[in-house]
Amino acid sequence: MKREILKKSIVFRIVSITVMAAFFYFYTGSFKQMTLLTALVEIIKTIQYVLFELFWKRYKERVKKHEK
């Protein structure tokens, strides 16, 4: 089950990046701009994900603490 989730997640990221890159290419008409914008968005999304995970962990710890 975990392997399937990992495979699905990887395929989803590949599809997502491809769609985003295509959008940026058609929007800018520049391969260089497409690459820079796609990389920038992916970096921001990665940071956002890490921050959300940290927030979620703290939230769960607080909820658990108040349940006792």
Structure confidence at residue 67 (pLDDT): 81
Query: Rounded CA gap, 67 and 24, in Å?
Result: 47
Q: Where residue 40 falls among pLDDT bands split at 50, 70, 90?
A: very high
Half-sphere exposure of 62 (CA within 13 A, CB side): 6
What does pTM read for this prediction? 0.75
Looking at the predicted structure, is the pLDDT value of residue 66 above 90?
A: no
20-39 pLDDT, tens digit each: 999 999 999 999 999 999 99
Q: How many CA atoms lie within 13 A of 58 on its CB side?
A: 6
